[in-house]
Amino acid sequence: MMTADKIKKLISTLSGVSLVDDFTIDEAGSLKGRIAVATGQDNTNLEWNVEISPTYPFKAMGSEPIHFQNKNLLDYPHIMQGGNLCMHPAEYENAESQFVNDLKQLKEWIEKYYVKGKKDAHYEHLVVNHHTICGQYYTFCFAETQEDFTEGDYGIVHYATLPTGQKNDCQVFNYVAQKFVSYLKTKKVLPCKISKSYQELRSFAGVYCLLSDTPSVCNKFIVEEYDSIKGLFSQSQKNYIHSFVVSHRDKYDFFPLFCGYRIPEGGVHWQAMILFMDDLPIEPVRVGTGKNRLWFTDFRQGQIQWAETVDISYKYFFGRGAMPEELANKKMLIMGVGAIGSILAETLTRCGAKNLTLYDIDNKEPGNVCRSACPFYTGIIEKTLDITNLLTQISPHVECSSLKSIADLVIKTYVAGHEDKSALAEFFDEFDVIFDCTTDNQLMRVMDSVGTKALLVNLSITNHAQDLICAFSPNVPETVLLIYGLLKHDMETDMYNPTGCWNPTFKASYNDIECKVQVAVKHIIKMLSKQEALSDFYITEDDLNLKINKL
Protein backbone atom coordinates (compact mmCIF):
# COMPACT_ATOMS: atom_id res chain seq x y z
CA MET A 1 0.00 0.00 0.00
CA MET A 2 1.28 3.46 -0.91
CA THR A 3 1.68 6.12 1.78
CA ALA A 4 2.62 9.79 1.68
CA ASP A 5 5.99 8.97 3.24
CA LYS A 6 6.77 6.28 0.64
CA ILE A 7 5.85 8.66 -2.18
CA LYS A 8 8.09 11.40 -0.77
CA LYS A 9 10.99 8.96 -0.45
CA LEU A 10 10.59 7.55 -3.96
CA ILE A 11 10.37 11.00 -5.56
CA SER A 12 13.61 11.99 -3.85
CA THR A 13 15.41 9.17 -5.67
CA LEU A 14 14.35 10.33 -9.16
CA SER A 15 16.13 13.08 -11.05
CA GLY A 16 13.98 15.76 -12.60
CA VAL A 17 10.99 15.11 -10.29
CA SER A 18 10.23 17.15 -7.19
CA LEU A 19 7.43 17.39 -4.68
CA VAL A 20 5.40 20.61 -4.76
CA ASP A 21 2.59 19.77 -2.33
CA ASP A 22 2.71 16.86 0.11
CA PHE A 23 0.37 13.95 -0.50
CA THR A 24 -2.69 13.66 1.75
CA ILE A 25 -5.58 11.19 1.90
CA ASP A 26 -9.05 12.40 0.87
CA GLU A 27 -12.44 11.09 2.05
CA ALA A 28 -12.46 8.36 -0.64
CA GLY A 29 -9.09 7.03 0.50
CA SER A 30 -7.15 8.38 -2.48
CA LEU A 31 -3.76 9.99 -2.09
CA LYS A 32 -3.56 13.46 -3.65
CA GLY A 33 -0.56 15.69 -4.11
CA ARG A 34 1.33 17.84 -6.57
CA ILE A 35 4.65 17.26 -8.31
CA ALA A 36 6.90 19.15 -10.73
CA VAL A 37 8.79 17.53 -13.59
CA ALA A 38 11.72 19.22 -15.30
CA THR A 39 11.45 19.72 -19.06
CA GLY A 40 15.12 20.50 -19.67
CA GLN A 41 14.15 23.82 -21.26
CA ASP A 42 15.51 26.88 -19.40
CA ASN A 43 14.81 25.30 -16.02
CA THR A 44 11.11 25.11 -16.91
CA ASN A 45 9.03 22.63 -14.90
CA LEU A 46 5.59 21.21 -15.59
CA GLU A 47 3.44 20.86 -12.52
CA TRP A 48 0.97 17.97 -12.21
CA ASN A 49 -1.81 17.19 -9.79
CA VAL A 50 -1.48 13.51 -8.90
CA GLU A 51 -4.23 11.23 -7.60
CA ILE A 52 -3.49 7.65 -6.53
CA SER A 53 -6.32 5.16 -6.01
CA PRO A 54 -6.59 3.01 -2.87
CA THR A 55 -6.33 -0.03 -5.21
CA TYR A 56 -2.87 1.02 -6.42
CA PRO A 57 -1.04 -0.59 -8.18
CA PHE A 58 -4.05 -2.52 -9.48
CA LYS A 59 -6.52 -1.22 -12.03
CA ALA A 60 -10.17 -1.38 -10.93
CA MET A 61 -13.30 -1.19 -13.12
CA GLY A 62 -11.07 -0.59 -16.16
CA SER A 63 -9.63 2.62 -14.70
CA GLU A 64 -5.92 3.30 -14.24
CA PRO A 65 -5.00 3.58 -10.52
CA ILE A 66 -2.97 6.80 -10.95
CA HIS A 67 -3.82 10.09 -12.67
CA PHE A 68 -1.53 12.95 -13.67
CA GLN A 69 -3.47 16.15 -14.38
CA ASN A 70 -2.51 19.45 -15.99
CA LYS A 71 -5.38 21.44 -17.52
CA ASN A 72 -2.97 23.79 -19.32
CA LEU A 73 -1.86 21.03 -21.69
CA LEU A 74 -5.16 20.26 -23.45
CA ASP A 75 -3.66 20.99 -26.87
CA TYR A 76 -1.12 18.18 -26.49
CA PRO A 77 -1.67 14.52 -27.47
CA HIS A 78 -3.10 12.12 -24.91
CA ILE A 79 -4.34 14.83 -22.53
CA MET A 80 -7.99 14.22 -21.82
CA GLN A 81 -10.76 16.78 -21.40
CA GLY A 82 -10.27 17.07 -17.65
CA GLY A 83 -6.54 17.53 -18.09
CA ASN A 84 -5.64 13.92 -17.22
CA LEU A 85 -2.81 12.24 -19.09
CA CYS A 86 -4.04 9.09 -20.83
CA MET A 87 -1.40 6.43 -20.34
CA HIS A 88 -1.26 2.66 -20.17
CA PRO A 89 1.85 1.79 -18.17
CA ALA A 90 3.52 -1.58 -17.78
CA GLU A 91 2.11 -3.44 -14.79
CA TYR A 92 3.98 -4.26 -11.57
CA GLU A 93 2.58 -6.09 -8.56
CA ASN A 94 4.83 -4.04 -6.27
CA ALA A 95 3.44 -0.54 -5.62
CA GLU A 96 6.86 1.10 -5.25
CA SER A 97 8.13 -0.30 -8.57
CA GLN A 98 4.85 0.68 -10.25
CA PHE A 99 5.11 4.28 -8.99
CA VAL A 100 8.70 4.69 -10.18
CA ASN A 101 7.74 3.30 -13.61
CA ASP A 102 4.69 5.58 -13.81
CA LEU A 103 6.85 8.64 -13.14
CA LYS A 104 9.36 7.50 -15.77
CA GLN A 105 6.53 7.15 -18.30
CA LEU A 106 5.33 10.66 -17.41
CA LYS A 107 8.84 11.97 -18.10
CA GLU A 108 8.89 10.11 -21.44
CA TRP A 109 5.60 11.75 -22.43
CA ILE A 110 6.98 15.19 -21.58
CA GLU A 111 10.12 14.57 -23.65
CA LYS A 112 8.25 13.18 -26.68
CA TYR A 113 5.16 15.35 -26.91
CA TYR A 114 5.88 18.54 -24.92
CA VAL A 115 9.56 19.09 -25.62
CA LYS A 116 9.87 17.56 -29.11
CA GLY A 117 6.30 18.33 -30.16
CA LYS A 118 5.70 14.97 -31.84
CA LYS A 119 2.28 13.95 -33.16
CA ASP A 120 0.85 10.45 -33.52
CA ALA A 121 0.60 9.14 -37.08
CA HIS A 122 -2.75 7.41 -36.61
CA TYR A 123 -5.98 9.40 -36.46
CA GLU A 124 -8.06 9.47 -33.29
CA HIS A 125 -11.77 10.27 -33.43
CA LEU A 126 -13.08 13.17 -31.39
CA VAL A 127 -13.57 12.40 -27.71
CA VAL A 128 -17.27 12.34 -26.83
CA ASN A 129 -18.55 11.99 -23.29
CA HIS A 130 -21.44 9.54 -23.42
CA HIS A 131 -24.09 10.56 -20.92
CA THR A 132 -27.64 9.34 -20.49
CA ILE A 133 -30.30 11.34 -22.30
CA CYS A 134 -33.54 11.44 -20.33
CA GLY A 135 -32.31 8.42 -18.37
CA GLN A 136 -31.34 6.29 -21.38
CA TYR A 137 -28.35 5.85 -23.65
CA TYR A 138 -28.63 6.16 -27.43
CA THR A 139 -26.22 4.46 -29.85
CA PHE A 140 -26.16 4.78 -33.65
CA CYS A 141 -24.03 2.57 -35.89
CA PHE A 142 -23.18 3.67 -39.42
CA ALA A 143 -21.03 2.42 -42.29
CA GLU A 144 -19.36 4.01 -45.28
CA THR A 145 -21.60 4.68 -48.28
CA GLN A 146 -21.35 3.47 -51.85
CA GLU A 147 -20.53 7.02 -53.02
CA ASP A 148 -19.04 10.07 -51.35
CA PHE A 149 -21.02 13.05 -50.11
CA THR A 150 -21.07 16.48 -51.74
CA GLU A 151 -19.61 19.28 -49.63
CA GLY A 152 -22.36 20.97 -47.63
CA ASP A 153 -24.73 18.08 -48.27
CA TYR A 154 -27.86 17.50 -46.20
CA GLY A 155 -31.05 15.45 -46.29
CA ILE A 156 -32.75 12.46 -44.67
CA VAL A 157 -30.94 9.64 -42.88
CA HIS A 158 -32.90 6.39 -42.68
CA TYR A 159 -32.14 4.17 -39.71
CA ALA A 160 -33.49 0.97 -38.16
CA THR A 161 -34.02 -0.12 -34.58
CA LEU A 162 -31.88 -2.88 -33.11
CA PRO A 163 -32.66 -4.75 -29.86
CA THR A 164 -32.55 -2.65 -26.71
CA GLY A 165 -29.49 -3.22 -24.54
CA GLN A 166 -28.37 -2.19 -21.08
CA LYS A 167 -25.32 -0.66 -19.42
CA ASN A 168 -24.75 1.02 -16.08
CA ASP A 169 -28.26 -0.08 -15.04
CA CYS A 170 -29.77 2.01 -17.86
CA GLN A 171 -31.41 1.04 -21.13
CA VAL A 172 -29.46 1.46 -24.37
CA PHE A 173 -31.52 2.21 -27.46
CA ASN A 174 -29.54 0.83 -30.40
CA TYR A 175 -29.93 1.87 -34.03
CA VAL A 176 -28.17 1.33 -37.37
CA ALA A 177 -28.09 3.81 -40.26
CA GLN A 178 -29.31 2.31 -43.54
CA LYS A 179 -29.02 5.06 -46.13
CA PHE A 180 -28.75 8.78 -46.71
CA VAL A 181 -31.08 10.57 -49.15
CA SER A 182 -29.64 13.87 -50.33
CA TYR A 183 -31.91 16.90 -50.57
CA LEU A 184 -29.10 18.89 -52.16
CA LYS A 185 -28.67 16.28 -54.94
CA THR A 186 -32.41 15.85 -55.69
CA LYS A 187 -33.08 12.78 -53.54
CA LYS A 188 -29.97 10.89 -54.57
CA VAL A 189 -29.73 7.74 -52.41
CA LEU A 190 -26.44 6.82 -50.77
CA PRO A 191 -26.86 3.37 -49.17
CA CYS A 192 -24.60 2.30 -46.34
CA LYS A 193 -22.43 -0.73 -47.09
CA ILE A 194 -24.29 -3.17 -44.87
CA SER A 195 -26.10 -6.38 -45.70
CA LYS A 196 -29.58 -6.60 -47.16
CA SER A 197 -30.99 -8.02 -43.94
CA TYR A 198 -30.29 -4.71 -42.18
CA GLN A 199 -31.28 -2.55 -45.14
CA GLU A 200 -34.69 -4.21 -45.18
CA LEU A 201 -35.53 -3.55 -41.52
CA ARG A 202 -38.30 -1.05 -40.83
CA SER A 203 -36.95 2.47 -41.29
CA PHE A 204 -37.27 5.66 -39.30
CA ALA A 205 -36.12 9.10 -40.45
CA GLY A 206 -33.71 11.69 -39.13
CA VAL A 207 -31.69 14.52 -40.61
CA TYR A 208 -28.06 14.61 -41.71
CA CYS A 209 -25.84 17.60 -42.44
CA LEU A 210 -22.24 17.53 -43.63
CA LEU A 211 -20.63 20.32 -41.60
CA SER A 212 -18.22 22.91 -42.97
CA ASP A 213 -15.55 21.95 -40.42
CA THR A 214 -14.79 19.53 -37.59
CA PRO A 215 -16.94 20.27 -34.50
CA SER A 216 -14.00 20.14 -32.11
CA VAL A 217 -12.25 21.84 -29.24
CA CYS A 218 -8.44 21.55 -29.27
CA ASN A 219 -8.89 19.33 -32.35
CA LYS A 220 -9.80 16.34 -30.21
CA PHE A 221 -12.86 17.04 -28.03
CA ILE A 222 -16.32 17.40 -29.50
CA VAL A 223 -18.08 20.72 -28.89
CA GLU A 224 -20.76 20.52 -26.24
CA GLU A 225 -22.76 23.75 -26.71
CA TYR A 226 -25.08 24.70 -29.59
CA ASP A 227 -23.45 28.13 -29.70
CA SER A 228 -20.16 26.44 -30.59
CA ILE A 229 -21.53 24.34 -33.44
CA LYS A 230 -24.20 26.46 -35.11
CA GLY A 231 -21.61 28.30 -37.20
CA LEU A 232 -20.68 25.00 -38.88
CA PHE A 233 -24.16 24.61 -40.42
CA SER A 234 -25.14 26.50 -43.55
CA GLN A 235 -28.36 28.48 -43.39
CA SER A 236 -29.92 26.07 -45.89
CA GLN A 237 -29.10 23.16 -43.56
CA LYS A 238 -30.64 24.94 -40.56
CA ASN A 239 -33.79 25.75 -42.53
CA TYR A 240 -34.01 22.13 -43.67
CA ILE A 241 -33.90 20.94 -40.06
CA HIS A 242 -36.87 23.21 -39.35
CA SER A 243 -38.80 21.89 -42.37
CA PHE A 244 -38.20 18.31 -41.16
CA VAL A 245 -39.58 19.22 -37.74
CA VAL A 246 -42.71 20.75 -39.31
CA SER A 247 -43.41 17.66 -41.44
CA HIS A 248 -42.57 15.06 -38.77
CA ARG A 249 -43.69 16.67 -35.53
CA ASP A 250 -46.71 14.35 -35.22
CA LYS A 251 -44.75 11.24 -36.26
CA TYR A 252 -41.80 11.19 -33.87
CA ASP A 253 -41.09 12.17 -30.28
CA PHE A 254 -37.43 12.67 -31.19
CA PHE A 255 -35.08 12.34 -34.13
CA PRO A 256 -31.30 12.12 -34.60
CA LEU A 257 -29.41 14.92 -36.29
CA PHE A 258 -26.34 13.32 -37.91
CA CYS A 259 -23.47 15.81 -38.04
CA GLY A 260 -20.78 14.71 -40.46
CA TYR A 261 -17.21 15.91 -40.82
CA ARG A 262 -14.23 14.89 -42.94
CA ILE A 263 -11.47 12.83 -41.34
CA PRO A 264 -7.83 12.63 -42.56
CA GLU A 265 -8.43 9.27 -44.27
CA GLY A 266 -10.87 11.02 -46.60
CA GLY A 267 -14.13 9.54 -45.36
CA VAL A 268 -16.92 11.08 -43.32
CA HIS A 269 -17.43 10.43 -39.63
CA TRP A 270 -20.89 10.97 -38.21
CA GLN A 271 -21.82 12.13 -34.74
CA ALA A 272 -25.52 12.14 -33.86
CA MET A 273 -27.28 14.50 -31.51
CA ILE A 274 -30.75 13.73 -30.17
CA LEU A 275 -33.44 16.39 -30.74
CA PHE A 276 -36.75 16.07 -28.90
CA MET A 277 -39.83 17.54 -30.57
CA ASP A 278 -41.14 19.03 -27.30
CA ASP A 279 -37.82 20.75 -26.49
CA LEU A 280 -36.18 21.69 -29.78
CA PRO A 281 -32.84 23.51 -29.73
CA ILE A 282 -33.78 25.44 -32.88
CA GLU A 283 -35.87 28.60 -33.08
CA PRO A 284 -37.10 31.04 -35.73
CA VAL A 285 -35.17 34.30 -35.93
CA ARG A 286 -36.58 37.42 -37.59
CA VAL A 287 -34.42 39.82 -39.56
CA GLY A 288 -35.70 43.13 -40.88
CA THR A 289 -39.14 44.70 -40.73
CA GLY A 290 -42.12 45.15 -42.98
CA LYS A 291 -41.70 43.92 -46.52
CA ASN A 292 -38.02 43.31 -45.88
CA ARG A 293 -38.74 41.01 -42.97
CA LEU A 294 -37.17 37.55 -43.27
CA TRP A 295 -37.37 34.49 -41.06
CA PHE A 296 -34.65 31.92 -40.74
CA THR A 297 -33.74 29.09 -38.38
CA ASP A 298 -30.91 29.06 -35.87
CA PHE A 299 -29.84 27.19 -32.76
CA ARG A 300 -30.58 28.62 -29.37
CA GLN A 301 -28.30 28.32 -26.36
CA GLY A 302 -28.03 25.00 -24.58
CA GLN A 303 -26.04 21.85 -24.16
CA ILE A 304 -25.92 19.34 -27.01
CA GLN A 305 -27.22 15.86 -26.21
CA TRP A 306 -24.76 13.69 -28.10
CA ALA A 307 -25.57 10.04 -28.71
CA GLU A 308 -22.82 7.47 -29.11
CA THR A 309 -21.96 6.70 -32.72
CA VAL A 310 -19.89 3.77 -34.00
CA ASP A 311 -18.42 3.33 -37.47
CA ILE A 312 -19.10 -0.29 -38.43
CA SER A 313 -17.59 -0.07 -41.91
CA TYR A 314 -15.97 -3.35 -42.92
CA LYS A 315 -12.40 -2.13 -42.32
CA TYR A 316 -13.27 -1.17 -38.73
CA PHE A 317 -15.66 -4.02 -37.96
CA PHE A 318 -13.00 -6.57 -38.91
CA GLY A 319 -10.03 -4.35 -38.08
CA ARG A 320 -8.85 -6.62 -35.27
CA GLY A 321 -8.52 -9.63 -37.52
CA ALA A 322 -10.03 -11.09 -40.68
CA MET A 323 -9.32 -13.46 -43.52
CA PRO A 324 -7.60 -11.95 -46.60
CA GLU A 325 -10.00 -9.68 -48.49
CA GLU A 326 -9.70 -11.66 -51.74
CA LEU A 327 -11.03 -14.75 -49.95
CA ALA A 328 -13.67 -12.81 -48.01
CA ASN A 329 -15.15 -11.63 -51.32
CA LYS A 330 -15.57 -15.16 -52.72
CA LYS A 331 -19.00 -16.78 -52.98
CA MET A 332 -19.15 -19.82 -50.72
CA LEU A 333 -21.71 -22.61 -50.47
CA ILE A 334 -21.88 -24.66 -47.28
CA MET A 335 -23.75 -27.94 -47.76
CA GLY A 336 -24.81 -29.33 -44.39
CA VAL A 337 -25.01 -26.95 -41.45
CA GLY A 338 -25.07 -29.46 -38.62
CA ALA A 339 -22.22 -29.97 -36.19
CA ILE A 340 -19.37 -29.22 -38.62
CA GLY A 341 -21.15 -26.94 -41.08
CA SER A 342 -22.67 -24.59 -38.51
CA ILE A 343 -19.31 -24.09 -36.77
CA LEU A 344 -17.68 -23.53 -40.17
CA ALA A 345 -20.34 -20.98 -41.16
CA GLU A 346 -19.99 -19.05 -37.92
CA THR A 347 -16.19 -19.03 -38.13
CA LEU A 348 -16.15 -17.81 -41.74
CA THR A 349 -18.61 -15.06 -40.82
CA ARG A 350 -16.53 -13.92 -37.86
CA CYS A 351 -13.50 -13.93 -40.17
CA GLY A 352 -15.18 -11.51 -42.55
CA ALA A 353 -16.89 -13.66 -45.20
CA LYS A 354 -19.29 -11.53 -47.25
CA ASN A 355 -21.30 -14.02 -49.30
CA LEU A 356 -22.51 -17.35 -47.91
CA THR A 357 -25.17 -19.73 -49.19
CA LEU A 358 -26.38 -22.51 -46.90
CA TYR A 359 -27.95 -25.85 -47.68
CA ASP A 360 -29.37 -28.58 -45.44
CA ILE A 361 -32.32 -30.96 -45.68
CA ASP A 362 -33.02 -31.11 -41.94
CA ASN A 363 -34.80 -29.08 -39.31
CA LYS A 364 -33.05 -28.09 -36.12
CA GLU A 365 -34.35 -29.85 -33.04
CA PRO A 366 -33.36 -29.55 -29.35
CA GLY A 367 -31.00 -32.52 -29.61
CA ASN A 368 -28.92 -30.69 -32.24
CA VAL A 369 -28.08 -27.74 -30.00
CA CYS A 370 -25.43 -29.40 -27.82
CA ARG A 371 -22.88 -29.71 -30.62
CA SER A 372 -23.74 -27.08 -33.21
CA ALA A 373 -23.87 -23.29 -33.37
CA CYS A 374 -27.68 -23.32 -33.17
CA PRO A 375 -29.54 -21.83 -30.17
CA PHE A 376 -32.35 -23.65 -28.34
CA TYR A 377 -34.46 -20.47 -28.04
CA THR A 378 -35.63 -20.53 -31.67
CA GLY A 379 -37.28 -23.96 -31.29
CA ILE A 380 -38.05 -26.21 -34.26
CA ILE A 381 -36.86 -24.44 -37.38
CA GLU A 382 -35.10 -25.23 -40.63
CA LYS A 383 -31.38 -25.43 -39.93
CA THR A 384 -30.55 -23.06 -42.76
CA LEU A 385 -32.96 -20.41 -41.42
CA ASP A 386 -31.61 -20.75 -37.91
CA ILE A 387 -27.98 -20.40 -39.00
CA THR A 388 -28.87 -17.53 -41.36
CA ASN A 389 -30.41 -15.66 -38.42
CA LEU A 390 -27.30 -16.34 -36.36
CA LEU A 391 -24.88 -15.17 -39.04
CA THR A 392 -26.75 -11.93 -39.79
CA GLN A 393 -26.82 -11.17 -36.07
CA ILE A 394 -23.04 -11.66 -35.95
CA SER A 395 -22.07 -9.53 -38.95
CA PRO A 396 -23.78 -6.64 -40.76
CA HIS A 397 -21.57 -7.40 -43.76
CA VAL A 398 -22.52 -10.98 -44.65
CA GLU A 399 -25.09 -11.63 -47.35
CA CYS A 400 -26.56 -14.97 -46.39
CA SER A 401 -29.02 -17.00 -48.48
CA SER A 402 -30.05 -20.64 -48.62
CA LEU A 403 -30.99 -23.38 -51.07
CA LYS A 404 -34.28 -25.18 -50.60
CA SER A 405 -33.98 -28.65 -49.11
CA ILE A 406 -35.51 -30.08 -52.28
CA ALA A 407 -32.18 -29.32 -53.96
CA ASP A 408 -30.99 -32.73 -52.73
CA LEU A 409 -33.74 -34.44 -54.74
CA VAL A 410 -33.16 -32.24 -57.78
CA ILE A 411 -29.39 -32.80 -57.80
CA LYS A 412 -29.54 -36.56 -57.43
CA THR A 413 -32.44 -36.98 -59.86
CA TYR A 414 -30.59 -34.93 -62.45
CA VAL A 415 -27.36 -36.90 -62.06
CA ALA A 416 -29.21 -40.22 -62.16
CA GLY A 417 -31.11 -39.28 -65.32
CA HIS A 418 -28.58 -37.33 -67.38
CA GLU A 419 -25.21 -38.26 -68.75
CA ASP A 420 -24.57 -34.61 -69.60
CA LYS A 421 -24.15 -32.77 -66.28
CA SER A 422 -23.17 -29.42 -67.80
CA ALA A 423 -26.37 -27.66 -66.68
CA LEU A 424 -25.82 -28.76 -63.08
CA ALA A 425 -22.16 -27.78 -63.30
CA GLU A 426 -23.20 -24.35 -64.56
CA PHE A 427 -25.39 -23.88 -61.47
CA PHE A 428 -22.54 -24.70 -59.08
CA ASP A 429 -20.12 -22.60 -61.15
CA GLU A 430 -21.75 -19.54 -59.52
CA PHE A 431 -19.78 -20.39 -56.39
CA ASP A 432 -16.06 -20.10 -55.86
CA VAL A 433 -15.84 -22.61 -53.01
CA ILE A 434 -18.26 -25.39 -52.00
CA PHE A 435 -17.90 -26.95 -48.57
CA ASP A 436 -19.54 -30.37 -48.25
CA CYS A 437 -20.20 -31.01 -44.55
CA THR A 438 -23.19 -33.33 -45.07
CA THR A 439 -21.44 -36.67 -44.37
CA ASP A 440 -23.67 -37.89 -47.24
CA ASN A 441 -21.41 -40.23 -49.21
CA GLN A 442 -23.79 -40.32 -52.16
CA LEU A 443 -23.86 -36.54 -52.38
CA MET A 444 -20.06 -36.52 -52.07
CA ARG A 445 -19.79 -38.74 -55.14
CA VAL A 446 -22.40 -36.76 -57.05
CA MET A 447 -20.69 -33.43 -56.37
CA ASP A 448 -17.33 -34.84 -57.43
CA SER A 449 -18.80 -36.06 -60.69
CA VAL A 450 -20.56 -32.83 -61.67
CA GLY A 451 -17.43 -31.16 -62.98
CA THR A 452 -18.02 -27.69 -61.52
CA LYS A 453 -15.31 -25.04 -61.67
CA ALA A 454 -15.86 -24.35 -57.97
CA LEU A 455 -13.35 -25.81 -55.55
CA LEU A 456 -14.95 -28.64 -53.53
CA VAL A 457 -13.88 -29.02 -49.92
CA ASN A 458 -15.19 -32.08 -48.09
CA LEU A 459 -15.12 -32.08 -44.28
CA SER A 460 -16.05 -35.14 -42.23
CA ILE A 461 -15.35 -36.44 -38.75
CA THR A 462 -14.98 -39.89 -37.19
CA ASN A 463 -16.83 -41.28 -34.17
CA HIS A 464 -16.01 -39.53 -30.89
CA ALA A 465 -14.42 -36.84 -33.08
CA GLN A 466 -11.15 -38.73 -32.96
CA ASP A 467 -10.18 -37.43 -36.40
CA LEU A 468 -11.26 -34.78 -38.90
CA ILE A 469 -10.75 -35.32 -42.63
CA CYS A 470 -10.42 -32.58 -45.26
CA ALA A 471 -10.31 -33.45 -48.96
CA PHE A 472 -10.18 -31.09 -51.94
CA SER A 473 -11.40 -31.69 -55.48
CA PRO A 474 -10.75 -33.50 -57.70
CA ASN A 475 -11.16 -37.12 -56.60
CA VAL A 476 -12.74 -36.32 -53.24
CA PRO A 477 -14.36 -39.79 -52.69
CA GLU A 478 -11.11 -41.61 -53.35
CA THR A 479 -9.21 -39.36 -50.94
CA VAL A 480 -11.79 -39.71 -48.16
CA LEU A 481 -11.89 -43.51 -48.48
CA LEU A 482 -8.08 -43.63 -48.52
CA ILE A 483 -7.83 -41.66 -45.27
CA TYR A 484 -10.53 -43.71 -43.55
CA GLY A 485 -8.54 -46.77 -44.55
CA LEU A 486 -5.39 -45.31 -43.04
CA LEU A 487 -7.17 -44.54 -39.78
CA LYS A 488 -8.57 -48.08 -39.41
CA HIS A 489 -11.21 -47.07 -36.86
CA ASP A 490 -14.25 -49.17 -36.01
CA MET A 491 -16.92 -46.79 -37.21
CA GLU A 492 -19.99 -48.78 -36.31
CA THR A 493 -19.79 -49.41 -32.56
CA ASP A 494 -20.64 -47.12 -29.67
CA MET A 495 -22.75 -44.81 -31.82
CA TYR A 496 -25.56 -42.58 -30.55
CA ASN A 497 -28.94 -44.19 -31.23
CA PRO A 498 -31.83 -41.73 -30.88
CA THR A 499 -35.30 -42.95 -29.93
CA GLY A 500 -37.41 -44.15 -32.81
CA CYS A 501 -36.44 -45.49 -36.18
CA TRP A 502 -33.46 -43.28 -37.01
CA ASN A 503 -29.96 -43.83 -38.30
CA PRO A 504 -27.37 -43.81 -35.50
CA THR A 505 -24.99 -40.84 -35.46
CA PHE A 506 -21.50 -40.31 -34.14
CA LYS A 507 -20.85 -39.33 -30.54
CA ALA A 508 -18.87 -36.20 -29.74
CA SER A 509 -19.26 -33.01 -27.73
CA TYR A 510 -19.21 -29.51 -29.18
CA ASN A 511 -15.72 -29.01 -27.78
CA ASP A 512 -14.49 -32.27 -29.37
CA ILE A 513 -15.72 -31.13 -32.78
CA GLU A 514 -15.08 -27.41 -32.56
CA CYS A 515 -11.38 -27.60 -31.69
CA LYS A 516 -10.66 -29.74 -34.76
CA VAL A 517 -12.89 -27.71 -37.08
CA GLN A 518 -11.14 -24.50 -36.03
CA VAL A 519 -7.69 -25.97 -36.70
CA ALA A 520 -8.92 -27.23 -40.08
CA VAL A 521 -10.46 -23.87 -41.02
CA LYS A 522 -7.23 -22.08 -40.09
CA HIS A 523 -5.32 -24.15 -42.65
CA ILE A 524 -8.11 -24.08 -45.24
CA ILE A 525 -8.11 -20.27 -45.14
CA LYS A 526 -4.34 -20.24 -45.62
CA MET A 527 -4.60 -22.70 -48.51
CA LEU A 528 -7.42 -20.82 -50.25
CA SER A 529 -5.41 -17.61 -49.79
CA LYS A 530 -2.33 -19.29 -51.29
CA GLN A 531 -0.34 -18.86 -48.08
CA GLU A 532 -0.04 -22.67 -47.98
CA ALA A 533 -0.02 -25.21 -50.77
CA LEU A 534 -3.40 -26.84 -51.35
CA SER A 535 -3.22 -30.30 -49.82
CA ASP A 536 -5.62 -32.93 -48.53
CA PHE A 537 -5.10 -33.54 -44.82
CA TYR A 538 -6.52 -35.15 -41.74
CA ILE A 539 -6.28 -34.14 -38.09
CA THR A 540 -5.57 -36.71 -35.40
CA GLU A 541 -5.39 -36.30 -31.66
CA ASP A 542 -3.37 -37.82 -28.85
CA ASP A 543 -3.23 -36.99 -25.16
CA LEU A 544 -1.06 -33.93 -25.75
CA ASN A 545 -2.00 -32.24 -29.01
CA LEU A 546 -3.68 -32.18 -32.41
CA LYS A 547 -1.60 -33.24 -35.38
CA ILE A 548 -2.01 -32.16 -39.01
CA ASN A 549 -1.28 -35.01 -41.42
CA LYS A 550 -0.95 -33.86 -45.03
CA LEU A 551 -1.12 -36.27 -47.98
Same domain, residue pair 397 and 476: yes
CA 236 to chain centroid, in Å, comes to: 35
Q: What's the CATH number where 42 sits?
A: 3.10.110
Specify the pTM.
0.89
Exposed, middle or buried: residue 400 (CB in 10 Å: 0-12, 13-18, 19+)? buried
Residue at 132 is within a domain = no
ω before 474 within 30° of 0 (cis)?
yes
Q: What is the mean pLDDT of residues 353-377?
A: 93
For residue 285, the model assigns a pLDDT of 85
CA 226 to chain centroid, in Å, comes to: 31
Q: Are 66 and 78 in contact (CB under 8 A)?
A: no
Same domain, residue pair 281 and 381: no
Nearest to 495 by CA among 503, 487, 505: 505
Q: Is the pLDDT of residue 201 over 70?
A: yes
CA dihedral 381, 413, 478, 549 (to 10 degrees): -20
Count: domains in the chain: 3
Grouping H, G, I as helix, E, B as strand and the rest as coil, residue 422 is helix
DSSP state, 63?
A: B
Give per-residue pLDDT as tens, 150-164.
Answer: 999 999 999 999 999
Q: Are 233 and 296 in contact (CB under 8 A)?
A: no
For 9, phi then psi, to 5°, come to -70, -45
Same domain, residue pair 142 and 12: no
Residue at 121 is within a domain = no
Same domain, residue pair 187 and 231: yes
Same domain, residue pair 84 and 18: yes
Residue at 351 is within a domain = yes
Residue at 335 is within a domain = yes
What is the share, in percent, of the chain residues with pLDDT greater than 90? Answer: 74
Same domain, residue pair 347 and 257: no
Residue at 391 is within a domain = yes
Q: What is the mean pLDDT of residues 72-92?
A: 90
Same domain, residue pair 52 and 190: no
Residue at 126 is within a domain = no
Confidence band, pLDDT 50/70/90 cuts, at residue 320: very high
Q: Is the pLDDT of residue 288 over 80?
A: no
Q: Which residue has the higher pLDDT, 440 or 310?
A: 310
Same domain, residue pair 371 and 423: yes
* 162-166, 352-356, 441-445, 501-505, range with the lowest pLDDT: 501-505
For 19, phi then psi, to 5°, come to -90, 125
Same domain, residue pair 160 and 222: yes
Give per-residue pLDDT as tens, 485-511.
Answer: 888 765 566 656 565 555 666 678 899
DSSP string, 183-227: TTTTSEEEEBS--HHHHTSPEEEEEEEE-SS--EETTTEE--BHH
Same domain, residue pair 85 and 37: yes
d(Cα 414, Cα 412) in Å, to the nearest integer?
A: 5
Tell which of 114, 146, 170 closes a domain.
114
Same domain, residue pair 387 and 515: yes
Residue at 104 is within a domain = yes
Q: Is the pLDDT of residue 377 over 70?
A: yes
Domain enclosing residue 503, as ranges = 321-550
Same domain, residue pair 180 and 285: yes
Tell which of 282, 312, 342 closes a domain.
312
Highest mean pLDDT (candidates 35-44, 288-297, 310-319): 310-319
Residue at 187 is within a domain = yes
